[in-house]
Amino acid sequence: MISFHDVTKIETNRKRETVILDGVDAVFEPGVTTGILGSPKSGKSTVINLICRDDRPTYGQVVHDMTVSWPINSGRFQANLTVRDNIRIAALLYGAHPPDLIRAVNKFAELGKSLDARISTLDNISRARLAFAIPLSMNFECYVIDEMVAGGDAEFKSRIQDRIATLQKRAAIVFATKNPRLMASMCDVAYTVGGGRLTRYDDVNQAVAAFNAAGLGNAQQLRQADSDEE
């Protein structure tokens, strides 16, 4: 389980302090797919970064009792290295067996000769396929997806959906999005984020209704959280 305890996150930008999260609590559990629903610059990416250990709260505590992926689809590659080398680095950093992971990613993404190509030579679709294939081929207890934007044809997108459906049975899935309809179709529970708040809904349809009713995507809300990078 990953849990937030009275978490506050304050960002400083040009001597101006902006409260992104203000004393929030949350829990992310195995076997539960949790949505993080928020407009751009609402604090959604801050929540993701805290879950993935890419950031620390200003106050409060984030407790990690399970392994967690980096944000899937973030494309954290060393551009001057080959695809094979990037997979090997991911394996070493996260405790996987490099040859096994290379085979699994190659099978999942159907890389072929691209396996030994430099990342810098790949087109955007190939990079997007790889960004999904590496973490989804690894054995985490929590998978974090920051927007569902998959590269490739319909067959590859279907492969991603099938893999996520399999992982949902055993792992915690955290899905951050600004798309209420997509969130409702994928998630068991949801949090809305905005105005410093992180509000839980056990009924995802209630989360969508609250998100729409509160106008969390309006211009005023964006200005209030303007230091949170999407």
Domain that residue 207 falls in: 2-69+174-224
Whether residue 65 is found in the same domain as residue 179:
yes
Number of folded domains in the chain? 2
On whether residue 213 sits in a domain, the answer given is yes
Whether residue 65 is found in the same domain as residue 178:
yes
pLDDT tens readout for residues 184-196: 999 999 999 999 9
Looking at residue 111, what is its pLDDT?
A: 85
pTM above 0.75, yes or no: yes
- Could you tell me the end-to-end alpha-carbon distance of the chain, in angstroms, rounded to an integer? 25
DSSP letter for each residue of 108-156? HHT-GGGGGSBGGGS-HHHHHHHHHHHHHTS--SEEEEES----S-HHH
pLDDT tens readout for residues 43-83: 999 999 999 999 999 999 999 999 999 998 777 899 999 99
On whether residue 188 sits in a domain, the answer given is yes
Looking at residue 222, what is its pLDDT?
A: 35
Closest CA to 192 of 205, 208, 181, 203: 208
